[in-house]
Chain A
Amino acid sequence: MAAPKAVSDRISMSPQIEACSAVSAFRVSVNTQEARSKRQQKASPTKARDGIADTHPLGVGKDRTLQAQRLLSHPPQSLHLVAPVWNGGTRGISGLSRVVAPKGNQKKGRSLLQFLADRFYDVEALRDHLLRKRVSKVHQKNRPFNHINQRYGPYVAGAYFILKQGGAVRFQGREWSRPNQRGHFSLDFLKLQAVPVEAVDASGCAINYQGLDSLLALKELQSLWLQRCPHVDDWCLSRLHPLASSLQELSLAGCPRVSERGLACLHHLWNLRRLDISDLPAVSSPGLTRILVEEMLPSCEVLGADWAQDLKLGPEEQPRDTAGPTPA
């Protein structure tokens, strides 16, 4: 596993670097005086780039960047076993590159990368924070609307939940209600407290395991479309059994997290007449899965992958090799 090694390498490298910068028995360090003189030797061919270096807003940082890059690309010619010259100012990792004296590539992108690499833990905390914000956004979208449930009943609460997510709802005896392009929808379904919801189109919505609470309260739901929902997975499918007596149509096409393990718990839905399991990327063998699901739900029409696509050609049907006659 290369990735975890990289992380642990990074974590374990820092105390070593710190140890290097502190005291150690055999130490290799580059005399900064010497490095500066070497830089001046190479000054002439890079005069133009030096100009950029001087005017860079991160003037000192640029210097350190160049130093670090130069050391990496050209190892110093003579290594001294000397006591470290403490040029005062190495504060942990970020100051370390000032001790070594490189000079090299002066692209702007490199310096931004070096800037971020110097602040590794801050960047990691920021990424962690952004990820957690994304996760909490999905949680927020799937929160239960208890006050609407208490006041208007489960059908209206479920419909509100779906419409808020961007899906469409159809009450019994009425037309589809959808939000418009800007996400706004009319609230005139609030008076339909006793009218059951018959069909829900939650395609593309960020509905997840928690959000199914609102859907499962719709006891007369006949048709449920969960196409391309990014957070619907096997756990969600195992929750659908309370709708078994009414659900007749279910569509899971394009859900990236649904696999054959979740499809195995659809056998609770004995009233199901149409099931769409096409284009499920997490299913390992789509053709075989479709056959097994058809066997599991005998009275249901299953739309799925073509079962023949998994079959390999037999030996007599292999395309002939046109290279030449087989050797005797």
Chain B
Amino acid sequence: MSEIKKKIRSILPGGDWNPLYDTSYLPPESSDVVIVGGGVLGLSVAYWLKKLEKPRGAIRVLVVERDHTYSRASTVLSVGGIRQQFSVPENVQLSIFSIDFLRNINEYLAVADDPPLDIQFNPSGYLLLASEKGAAIMENNVKVQRQEGAKVCLMSPEQLRNKFPWINTEGVALASYGMEHEGWFDPWCLLQGLRRKVQSMGVLFCRGEVTRFVSSSNLMKTASGEEVNLKRIHEVHVKIDQSLEYQPVECAIVINAAGAWSGQVAELAGIGKGPPGTLQGTKLPVELRKRYVYLWHCPQGPGLETPFVIDPSGTYFRREGLGHNYLGGCSPTEEEEPDPGNLEVDHDFFQDRVWPPLAQRVPAFETLKVRSAWAGYYDYNTFDQNGVVGPHPLVINMYFATGFSGHGLQQAPAVGRAVAEMVLEGHFQTINLSSFLFSRFYSGEKVQEHNII
């Protein structure tokens, strides 16, 4: 083609010639998929979209993340545990795939000429303790887990005392111990590995905040004759950090992976704007919840074999490093939920709610010294504390990948693949997550998990 024609084409709208000022910091004007949120779930969806697309390079993906240092992202503030000890079979399957992904992470996320990733996985397992009341539930759960292929063994208090002499088994009727494929790892490394691989696959990143969705509505009739108002998002307005400037990005699909802020993003799309009790009026029930993590030092504490211990009271701790340091915390009850406006740590919470059960369970923890603490957000699903995956029934091109209430990190690789399959094929292919769709909030079918920390 002659050069003159090329030049004219670049000047006309749609080309990227802009002689007046440099606009390379803006996101592109159009993108096939816009992923709101660049944490581990958003990047996992981007990775699997680029991996499963046919032909290669077919889909243009844009990841919008407003916090480029990830200072408030749940991913990096997480304790990093991964377990298969869930009671919902889909959760067990998600974790099993995710641990396979982590084991072969250098095959999945290899980038030419870059050093291999070391996620520093500690295969020490999870030890869940149950009181008399919870023993029957725990046995049921272990049966479900074993059916899915998890390697969990049940231990009596006697066996527990033999294996872990530092545990005080008073009040413990049964314990379930994950022998393999459970432990904790470095979430920052996973995030950076995903980010690096996803950039090498051609995904575009933008540092900005989604402020508006421009959508169009269609009044349609269902098979039974009801009238439904189906919405389709056409444009995403991405506001650039610390500026009033925004870029309207034309998109075909929007993926809501904004973590703890997913509820706000869903409201922008008009989800939940309607009379309560109807499908239009059902909000996305994902809220910010603040959780504290404390790091303490105890020289007489348990040794190298310490698993991730979860007490029946909800208190948990795990070993950190070789120097007798431990990380732990507790989930507050509904009444004492801290204000999620900031990430300040409440040290009295440790004194009142975390330390007493810890010291009762592990007598060596009576003498400990708190070294540091931090707070992070859970993308807490107030409905049933399990994830929301898949498209919204009314806003037909918004897909959710959020609401995992504390176990999003450990299920991220599998959830990313499920959402990518949903987007590319229209149905779940490998793991069937139909029970995690949005429509359960309207129909009231809770997918209740009995093992949440």
Verify B115–A292 contact, CB threshold 8 A: no
Quote the shortest CB–CB distance from A213 to chain B (angstroms): 13
Indicate whether A194 reaches chain B with its CB closer than 8 angstroms.
Answer: no
Quick one: which of A84, A239, A264 contacts B124, CB cutoff 8 A? A264
Indicate whether A7 reaches chain B with its CB closer than 8 angstroms.
Answer: yes
Quick one: which of A135, A241, A263, A284 contacts B179, CB cutoff 8 A? A241
11 contacts between A and B (CB under 8 A): A7-B113, A8-B199, A22-B3, A23-B6, A124-B112, A237-B123, A238-B179, A261-B123, A261-B124, A264-B122, A285-B322
Verify B304–A268 contact, CB threshold 8 A: no
Indicate whether B200 reaches chain A with its CB closer than 8 angstroms.
Answer: yes
Q: In the complex, which residues of chain A have a beta carbon less than 8 angstroms from the beta carbon of B6?
A: 22-23
CB-nearest residue of chain A to B196? A4
Quote the shortest CB–CB distance from A133 to chain B (angstroms): 13
Indicate whether A289 reaches chain B with its CB closer than 8 angstroms.
Answer: yes
Given the complex of chains A and B, what is the CA–CA distance between A252 and B123 in angstroms?
Answer: 17
Given known contacts A3-B115, A7-B112, A128-B112, A135 and B107 CB-to-CB distance under 8 angstroms: yes
Quick one: which of A6, A8, A237, A260 contacts B322, CB cutoff 8 A? A260
Given known contacts A238-B123, A238-B180, A267-B163, what 4 new A-B pairs fall within 8 Å (CB)?
Answer: A4-B196, A25-B7, A238-B183, A261-B183
Verify B123–A263 contact, CB threshold 8 A: no
Given the complex of chains A and B, what is the CA–CA distance between A4 and B123 in angstroms?
Answer: 29
Indicate whether B125 reaches chain A with its CB closer than 8 angstroms.
Answer: yes
Q: Which of B1-48 contact A (CB under 8 A)?
A: 3-4, 6-7, 10, 17, 19
Verify A127–B123 contact, CB threshold 8 A: no
CB-nearest residue of chain B to A6? B113
Indicate whether B154 reaches chain A with its CB closer than 8 angstroms.
Answer: no
7 shortest interchain CB distances as A-B pairs: A238-B123, A267-B305, A23-B7, A23-B6, A261-B122, A292-B304, A23-B3
Q: In the complex, which residues of chain B have a beta carbon less than 8 angstroms from the beta carbon of A8?
A: 199-200
Q: Mark B301-336, 1 if CB is under 8 A from A, else 0.
A: 001110000000000000100100000000000000
CB-nearest residue of chain A to B322? A288
Given known contacts A22-B3, A22-B6, A7 and B114 CB-to-CB distance under 8 angstroms: yes
Verify A4–B114 contact, CB threshold 8 A: yes
Indicate whether A316 reaches chain B with its CB closer than 8 angstroms.
Answer: no
Quote the shortest CB–CB distance from B57 to chain A (angstroms): 12
Q: In the complex, which residues of chain A have a beta carbon less than 8 angstroms from the beta carbon of B143?
A: none
Quote the shortest CB–CB distance from A251 to chain B (angstroms): 19
User: Which range contains the number of A residues in contact with the other chain?
Assistant: 35 or more
Quick one: which of B10, B115, B121, B303 contacts A295, CB cutoff 8 A? B303
Verify A296–B200 contact, CB threshold 8 A: no
Quote the shortest CB–CB distance from B308 to chain A (angstroms): 12
Verify A4–B200 contact, CB threshold 8 A: yes
Verify A261–B120 contact, CB threshold 8 A: yes
Quote the shortest CB–CB distance from B364 to chain A (angstroms): 13
Quick one: which of B4, B112, B123, B200 contacts A262, CB cutoff 8 A? B123
Q: In the complex, which residues of chain B have a beta carbon less than 8 angstroms from the beta carbon of A145?
A: none
Indicate whether A115 reaches chain B with its CB closer than 8 angstroms.
Answer: no
The size of the chain B interface, using a CB distance under 8 A, is 35
Quote the shortest CB–CB distance from A84 to chain B (angstroms): 7
Q: Which of B29-79 contact A (CB under 8 A)?
A: none
Given the complex of chains A and B, what is the CA–CA distance between A6 and B196 in angstroms?
Answer: 12
Q: Which of B6, B107, B196, B303 has the most CB of A within 10 A?
A: B303
Verify A23–B123 contact, CB threshold 8 A: no
Indicate whether B103 reaches chain A with its CB closer than 8 angstroms.
Answer: yes
Verify A25–B113 contact, CB threshold 8 A: no
Given known contacts A7-B200, A264-B122, A265-B125, A289 and B115 CB-to-CB distance under 8 angstroms: no
Q: Mark B288-305, 1 if CB is under 8 A from A, else 0.
A: 000000000000000111
CB-nearest residue of chain A to B120? A261
Indicate whether A176 reaches chain B with its CB closer than 8 angstroms.
Answer: no
Quote the shortest CB–CB distance from A182 to chain B (angstroms): 32
CB-nearest residue of chain A to B112? A124
Indicate whether A99 reaches chain B with its CB closer than 8 angstroms.
Answer: no
Q: Which of A284-320 contact B (CB under 8 A)?
A: 284-285, 288-289, 292-293, 295-296
Q: Which of A75-89 contact B (CB under 8 A)?
A: 83-84, 86
Indicate whether B214 reaches chain A with its CB closer than 8 angstroms.
Answer: no
Q: Mark A1-17, 1 if CB is under 8 A from B, else 0.
A: 10110111001000000
Q: In the complex, which residues of chain A have a beta carbon less than 8 angstroms from the beta carbon of B112?
A: 7, 124, 127-128
Q: In the complex, which residues of chain B have a beta carbon less than 8 angstroms from the beta carbon of A238?
A: 123, 179-181, 183
Q: Mark A212-246, 1 if CB is under 8 A from B, else 0.
A: 00000000000000000000001101110100000
CB-nearest residue of chain B to A209? B103
Quote the shortest CB–CB distance from A291 to chain B (angstroms): 9
CB-nearest residue of chain B to A235? B103
Given known contacts A23-B10, A234-B123, A3 and B114 CB-to-CB distance under 8 angstroms: yes
Given the complex of chains A and B, what is the CA–CA distance between A209 and B199 in angstroms?
Answer: 30
Given the complex of chains A and B, what is the CA–CA distance between A25 and B113 in angstroms?
Answer: 36
Quick one: which of A1, A7, A235, A289 contacts B123, CB cutoff 8 A? A235
Indicate whether B111 reaches chain A with its CB closer than 8 angstroms.
Answer: yes
Q: Which of B166-187 contact A (CB under 8 A)?
A: 179-181, 183
Given the complex of chains A and B, what is the CA–CA distance between A295 and B305 in angstroms?
Answer: 10
Quote the shortest CB–CB distance from A152 to chain B (angstroms): 27
Verify A7–B121 contact, CB threshold 8 A: no
Given known contacts A22-B3, A23-B3, A284-B322, A263 and B111 CB-to-CB distance under 8 angstroms: no
Q: In the complex, which residues of chain B have a beta carbon less than 8 angstroms from the beta carbon of A6?
A: 113
Verify B180–A260 contact, CB threshold 8 A: no
Given the complex of chains A and B, what is the CA–CA distance between A131 and B114 in angstroms?
Answer: 13
Quote the shortest CB–CB distance from B363 to chain A (angstroms): 17
Verify A295–B114 contact, CB threshold 8 A: no
Q: In the complex, which residues of chain A have a beta carbon less than 8 angstroms from the beta carbon of B180?
A: 238-239, 241
Q: Which of B17, B113, B115, B319 has the most CB of A within 10 A?
A: B113
Given the complex of chains A and B, what is the CA–CA distance between A150 and B391 in angstroms?
Answer: 47
Verify B305–A264 contact, CB threshold 8 A: yes
Verify B199–A4 contact, CB threshold 8 A: yes
Q: In the complex, which residues of chain B have a beta carbon less than 8 angstroms from the beta carbon of A259?
A: 120
CB-nearest residue of chain A to B181? A238
Q: In the complex, which residues of chain B have a beta carbon less than 8 angstroms from the beta carbon of A293?
A: 304
Verify A263–B304 contact, CB threshold 8 A: yes
Verify A267–B322 contact, CB threshold 8 A: no
Given the complex of chains A and B, what is the CA–CA distance between A241 and B152 in angstroms?
Answer: 12
